[in-house]
Amino acid sequence: MIAVPAGDPYASLTPADRALLKPQVERWIRDEVHHDWSDMWEIQDQTPAFKNELILGRRNAPDLDREQYVQAMRETIGVGYPEIKAFTVREIRGEGGAFRMIGCGKLQREVWKQTSITEVKARIENGKVIFGLPELTPDVCKL
55 pLDDT band (50/70/90 cuts)?
A: low
pLDDT at 72: 84
Q: Give pLDDT tens digits for 63-90.
A: 778 898 898 888 888 777 889 999 999 9
Rg (CA), the chain: 15
Cα–Cα distance, 8 to 51 (Å, whole number): 33
Q: What is the predicted pLDDT for the residue at 81? A: 80
DSSP lists the bridge partners of residue 118 as: 103, 136
| Confidence class for position 3, pLDDT limits 50, 70, 90 | very low
* Pairs from 49-55 (Cβ < 8 Å, separation ≥ 24): 50/132, 50/133, 53/81, 53/133, 54/81
How many residues does the structure list for the chain?
143
Which residue type is seen at 68?
Q
| Cross-strand pairs, 123 | 98, 130
CA distances from 8 to 25, 88, 91, 104, 121 (A): 14, 12, 7, 14, 18
Angle at Cα 79 formed by Cα 73 and Cα 85, nearest 5°?
75
Tell me which CATH code domain 15-140 carries: 3.10.450.50
Residue 6 has pLDDT above 60, yes or no: no
> Rounded mean pLDDT of the chain?
87
Q: Is residue 96 a contact partner of residue 14, using CB atoms and an 8 Å limit?
A: no
Average pLDDT over residues 24-43: 95
Residue-wise pLDDT for 89-128, tens only, equals 999 999 888 999 999 999 998 888 999 999 999 999 888 9
Name 94's Cβ contacts closer than 8 Å, sequence gap at least 6: 12, 13, 17
